[in-house]
Chain A
Amino acid sequence: MRKFYKIIFTVAVIFISFALNACDPFDDVYLTLALETEFNTTGAGTNISLTNNLCLSDFSDYEDNRDKLEEIKYITSAYLTLNATQGLRGDNLTLKLYQADGSTLLFEYVLPVFIANNYVNNPLKINLTQQEINNLNTYLLNPKVDKCFVATLDVSNVSSSGIIYNLESKLEFVTELKIKP
């Protein structure tokens, strides 16, 4: 009978060990986070040149999980016009993203003909080259350290139906955060 108890005890220990140790109940967590920055201007000149700064720490999903972050990867991005004066158009919409120093370029996207209202409720998906994606992902290494960006929007030869024009727009980046459970 004592032998039997030993067998039962051994089986119980193996079962409990399996349950507690062999089966890790947690997977890595992947969050998608959309980073966005708005470009707003009212003016009358023939060129639009806007600059914005943004940091990962501006976004609560990053801040909430920062201590457990293992990786951040760029996924995709898009430009949207939120509101614009009728007939606002120009040449060479140029969207650039720099590292925090404002001089190290991460990507540059140029749209030769820009008609602002074409992108109201119709986002312009920005396709980056593999080199540009690599630039971004390299900059995003060591994700526990906050990363800041300088984003610029430029348009030349601007015209509109009125003398004064208005442009409200935004640039969005989707990233994936890998979080240690």
Chain B
Amino acid sequence: MKNKLSLTLLTLFLFSSGLFAQVGIKVNSLPPFEATEYLRPLSTWFGTYFNSGTYYDASVPELFGFKFSIVGSWAIIPENQKTFKPNPQLPGVENVEPSATVFGNRASYYLADNGFFTYPTGLSLNAVPFGIYQFAGSFYNTELMLRFFPKSKFEDSKVGLFGFGIKHDISSHIPLIPVDLSVQILFNRFDFEFDDGDFENYTKLKSNNFAFNVHASKTFAGMFIVYSGLQYESSSMDFEYYFEDPNNNYSNIGKKIHNISVDGDNNFRYTLGGALKLGFFVINADVNLTKFTTFTTGLSLDF
């Protein structure tokens, strides 16, 4: 287990695929300044994922409303997020070929004073499918959305999720406006910790994701909704791991637990989608143009 990277445990939890158990990801072999670059696309993906699927209708009821939604997303990993330019900061080691990030598939290497160092490969993903559930209640043209998974222990792992969004229908204040218009603010936090008692396997991850959007929608025949929005978003991830320094290249920082902060590359996204209301049920799908182009689809109970 020591030689498998601790992130494997995370990915096993997240993706539940045998592939990752086979390949593993040895982030533990990377010094903090390289682990940051290796993991940056993961931070970006968290920001993309948690800030997706948060609306399909800009109209918020004046009286009580309730929604329960299950949202599926398909985030496409762009090529430029699959590699990073290594900079091992070792004398005489320069111009290392690009190596896989956490989502990439081709690892690089370099020859240092005490031999070859081989970089970890990544999860080899072209896209990341994922899902989430959320509740929302509304009153006075304002909606509170919640995502919650209590911090729970699964063998040596602990995982938890908390997210909320507040949305206000500003078109309710503007008479005769031809579309519904809302603003929404979102915060999502994901926590993961692995501790089997061996400090070399210890891993802790906190992902904080923030977004603010303005979105509009138009409902036709009481059941067809077209919606669109512009969103600013940011993400950051604190990652605690043991740097095992397998080649003893970094005597001052090796064999220690490090805490790194990794900012995602999230900035803006544009969303365009459509929804179909069938009684209390709503089916929606949208495309999100952002760092990782993301398709989402949702099934909601809305009344």
Contact = CB atoms under 8 A, between A and B. Distances in A.
Interface of A: 8, 12, 15, 19, 23-34, 36, 60, 64-65, 68, 75-76, 78, 80, 121-123, 125, 170, 172, 174, 179, 181
A68 B283 CA distance: 40
B107 A181 contact: no
Contacts of B23: 29, 31, 65, 179
Given A8-B276, A12-B283, A75-B109, A34 B115 contact: yes
A78 B111 CA distance: 8
Interface in B107-135: 107-109, 111, 113-116, 118-119, 121, 124-129
B95 interface: no
Given A19-B295, A34-B115, A25 B125 contact: yes
Given A25-B127, A76-B116, A122-B113, 20 more contacts: A8-B276, A8-B283, A15-B285, A15-B297, A19-B295, A23-B76, A25-B125, A25-B128, A27-B125, A27-B126, A30-B105, A30-B106, A31-B118, A32-B107, A60-B3, A65-B22, A76-B109, A172-B115, A174-B109, A174-B116
A156 B77 CA distance: 56
Interface string B280-303: 000101000000000101000000
B113 A123 contact: yes
Contacts of B114: 80, 121, 123
Contacts of B295: 15, 19
A178 to B, nearest CB: 10
Q: Which 9 A-B pairs have the closest CB atoms?
A: A121-B113, A32-B118, A27-B124, A30-B106, A27-B105, A25-B127, A29-B124, A34-B116, A32-B107
Contacts of B108: 32
Given A172-B115, A179-B22, A30 B121 contact: yes
Given A170-B115, A181-B19, A29 B24 contact: no
Contacts of A29: 19, 23, 105, 121, 124
A176 B19 CA distance: 18
Given A23-B127, A65-B23, A31 B121 contact: yes
B162 interface: no
B74 interface: yes
B163 to A, nearest CB: 24
A26 B126 contact: yes
A12 B299 CA distance: 12
A163 to B, nearest CB: 29
Residue from B24, B115, B297 whose CB has the most chain A CB atoms within 10 Å: B115
Contacts of B124: 26-29, 181
A33 B118 contact: yes
Contacts of B118: 31-34, 174
Contacts of A30: 100, 105-107, 121
A25 B129 contact: yes
Given A25-B126, A29-B124, A125 B74 contact: no
7 contacts: A12-B285, A23-B74, A28-B124, A30-B121, A31-B118, A78-B111, A122-B113
Given A65-B23, A68-B22, A179-B22, A19 B129 contact: yes
Nearest to B100: A30
Interface string B81-109: 00000000000000000001000011111
Nearest to B76: A23
Contacts of B285: 12, 15
A119 to B, nearest CB: 10
A21 to B, nearest CB: 12
A30 B113 CA distance: 25
A26 B19 contact: yes
B126 A23 contact: yes
Given A25-B128, A27-B125, A30-B107, A123 B24 contact: no
Contacts of B105: 27-30
